[in-house]
Structure formats: structure tokens, C-alpha cells
Amino acid sequence: MNLLIEVLAFAVAIGVLVVVHEYGHYSVARLCGVKVLRFSIGFGKPLFQWVSPKTGTEWTIAALPLGGYVKMLDERETGTAPIPADELPHAFNRQSVWRRFAIVAAGPVANFLLAIVLFALVFASGVTEPAAVIAPPAPNTPAAVAGFEGGETIVAVRSGGTGESEPVRSWSDLRWKLLGAAFDHKHLVLSAKDAHGVSDFPIDLRGISEKDVDDDFMSRLGFEPGGGKLMVAGVQPGSAAQRAGLVTGDRLRAINGTPTDNATTFIAYVKSHAGVPVTLQVERGGRGGQAAGKLEDISIVPQAQRDTATGQQIGRIGAELATQVPSIDVRYGPVESLQLGARRTWDLAVYSVRMFGRMIVGEASLKNLSGPVTIADYAGKSARLGPSAFLSFLALVSISLGVLNLLPIPVLDGGHLLYYLVEAVTGKVVSDRWQLVFQRAGLACIVALSAIALFNDLARLIHF
């Protein structure tokens, strides 16, 4: 059943993205007076064909649905059959350089517009997200240096001491604001409230390099979701947790006297205490209508195990953890939803470009590249989570497709745009000979990137 959901979700995702991308080319081509011969979804043998009596465009669905194309009237692609004189003004190659530029750029632009609309729909329909409550930060992290102790709810952020204050509505909102500030090397002031009122906490992100901005970015800053309940969801037989007496349903309140409400910080603490006894404060009971359970102190010795990734000895207790974090329903008005959708699309596009640049110069791993297998996997997972998650996933992939097509690689839209910019500056069309050379080089790049992405897919699938 899961496989069927993944296949269907992947087909819907690819179908929507391809149609939108190609329709961008098609609509601007028609607007510029260019005749479109074929609009194809997929490649290979046609499964369905229909010719519009009004425009003469052949609409096709082909057997291999991993892409599509729009074929326009062009003197360079007619073979031996000349184009009638009355149709020459409608040929793509007869258009001005800026019209050709607009037609080619319309595909990626359509993907970005789709992402804006999808994100706006998510924001307008409302989403349930973790509240911006932070857990006790690890020592010496920027959050700890700023004075956070854990349990504070971040309500606003401003740049420096004089910037305009922006509200923080959820954990996701906080992450995006910190991510943007880190890329721009800004000094921020976070406003957070606790039982004593609202206080300001300065966070200096000017020393954060782009290579530090990854999936662990928030953790390195010392920010983890807090304010929730850290529960034992399962205990492995024969583990240190079982020997110490931990049972499913226990709530972990503190470790060695330090309050804990976040799985990430708890696991990090346990890993750093291999073979060293630690004391857990555990709450038991409290169910069945009771306001609180009984507090007990349990001594446990994390088992020393070798970490396959680093080769170092780390501590493990053999317990499965679950965090019940406070959540908030976030909903925006139509205008604000569009504004937030545009901002989120811009932030993700910039992040994608910077990440790709880091991979080129070796500052980021090529393992970040993903192919169709991973896309299908996440399509299925997001579809099972609900409409909002699937729409967000679709917007993310649409942005990635738009950015990829704008890269200055021949055979992609960005490569053609580069030719047109050269033509606009020099007044000369890039020769067919050089276009052929660049096309072969570009094709080699695409094949190499596809091979790496497919290898990464297989590595994730079979865990090697």
C-alpha cells in the first residue's frame, strides 16, 4: 500500500511540475506570436494525441513521463522542408533576443510562481507547527552565551539594535529567520517571554560560515524545540535502560540534575558519558486523570559502543524516545499568505543556489544530491502526512526544478539564457559549432549529476 501511495504521489508531483514548467514556455511563446507545434508531457512513444483546431498545436502524453517539452516552429529544426513565407514571422529563431530570453525563462519562472501559490495555500489554510519554545541549550553555544536557559518562548526577532521587529509565530518561522540571518552574517536580537516577562537576547551570527548552514544548523546554535515532554517510547531487551528499570511511558524530567525536554540534547549528553553513571529523574504515573506522577531517581550507566561514522566510543542506553512538544495553529490572511509564500520561495531558491555552489567548491557533500527514488519516497511520506505536507513538498521540488533549470549549463534553460545574454552584449549569435561543443559538455555534466543522484538514492535505499 505504501509503495502504491509513493508511486501515485510521485506521478502527481512530476506531472504537475512538468505541466506547469512547460506551460510557462508555451504561454509566453504564444504571447510573443511564436507558433507551438507540440506540447508533450513525457518522452518516447505517444500514448495520447490531440491537435487543437484553433492553434494547430499537438498535445501529447508520451510513454516515459519523466519530463516534457514544447516544440516551437524553428528554421533550424525543419530538415529539408522549408517554412512557408507567411509563417516565418512566427518562427522562434526570427524573434528578438529578448523575446527568446523571455520564452526560455518562462519555464523556471512558472515553477517559482507555482511554489509561491502552493506555499500561500498552506499558510492560508493553516498548519499545526511546534511552538517556538526552546530547550535548555548546550553549553558554549550561541544560545547559551546569549543567556537562554530553556523554556523561553521566542516571540520576535530584529536585526541589530535598530532593525524592525518581526513576529515569530512558530518553530519553523524561527528557523527560517535564523537561517536567513546566518546567510547574511547578521547580528540579531531575539525577544522571548517566560514567567518573568519579555527579555531580549542578542545572537551574533556574523561568524557563521555557509558551510555551517546545514541540517544541524539549529542544534549548533543551541536551539532545540523545548517545553514539551520527553517520554520513553520503548526499551530494548538487555539494554542499560532495561537493567536500570526504565519502562515504556516514563517521562524523563532531568539528567544529572539538568532539566531535559528534548531528545537531541538528551541523546548528546548520553553519548558523551559512555561508561559513566548518570542519574535520571523520571516521572511515573500521572495517567488516568492524575495531575502529576511520582518522581524517582534512577542511576544508569550508558553502554560504550563504537560509532560507525566517527569510530569513537559513545554511550547508549537502549531506549526509544518520543518528544511531545507544544504546538500552535498558524493561519494567515490571503495577502500575508502570498507575501510569506514569495519570501519562502525566495529564501529556498537562494539556499539552493548557495548549496549547489558549496558542492561545486567542495564545501558541501555531493551526498546532498537526490534523484527520483528519494523524491518518490518523500512524495509518498508527505502525501501520508496530509495535504499541507504534500503541497509544501511539491513547492520545494518546484523551486529545485526552477533553480536547476536556471543553472548556466548547456541543454538546460540556463544554458540557452547564457547564449542570449552573450548575443545581447556582443550583437552576434553564438555559432552552431560552439553551441554543439557546449551542448556536449553540458550533457556530460547532466549525466554525471544524474549518476551521482541515483547513486545517493541507492545508498539511502540499501544503506551502504
What is the per-residue pLDDT for 32? 93
Contact partners, residue 452, CB within 8 Å, separation at least 6: 366, 369
Question: DSSP of 272-284, one letter per residue?
Answer: TTTT--EEEEEEE
329-350 as b/e, with b when 16 or more CB fall inside 10 Å? ebebeeeebbebbbebbebbbe
Mean pLDDT of 310-331: 84
CA distance 116 to 189: 28
Mean pLDDT of 160-185: 79
Residue 288 predicted with pLDDT over 50: no
Q: Which of 22, 152, 224, 283 is catalytic?
A: 22
- The reply to whether 320 belongs to the active site is no
Mean pLDDT of 210-215: 60
| 22 confidence band (pLDDT: 50, 70, 90) | very high
Is the Cβ–Cβ distance between 118 and 313 less than 8 Å?
no
114 phi and psi angles, rounded to 5 deg: -60, -45
pLDDT in tens, 396-452: 889 988 988 898 888 788 888 988 898 888 888 887 777 777 777 777 776 776 676
pLDDT in tens, 34-64: 999 999 988 888 888 999 998 889 999 988 8
Cα 450 → chain centroid: 19
State the Rg of the chain over Cα.
27
What is the per-residue pLDDT for 64? 80
For the ranges 55-59, 105-109, 190-194, 368-372, the lowest mean pLDDT is seen at 368-372
CA distance 6 to 373: 10
Residue 111 predicted with pLDDT over 90: yes
More confident residue, 331 or 124: 124
Pairing mode of beta strands 258-259, 251-255: antiparallel
What is the per-residue pLDDT for 324? 81
Residue 300 predicted with pLDDT over 90: yes
Q: What share of the chain is helix, strand, coil (3-state, %, to 5)?
A: 50, 25, 30
CA distance 50 to 173: 46
pLDDT in tens, 183-204: 777 788 899 998 888 888 988 8
More confident residue, 69 or 13: 69
Mean pLDDT of 87-104: 90
Q: Which of 385, 264, 254 is nearest to 321 (CA)?
A: 264
More confident residue, 61 or 456: 61
What is the per-residue pLDDT for 431? 77
Domains of the chain and CATH, by start? 97-126+334-464 (no CATH), 142-221 (2.30.42), 229-324 (2.30.42.10)
Contact partners, residue 193, CB within 8 Å, separation at least 6: 152, 153, 155, 199
Contact partners, residue 205, CB within 8 Å, separation at least 6: 142, 178, 181, 182, 185, 186, 187, 188
Residue 156 predicted with pLDDT over 80: yes
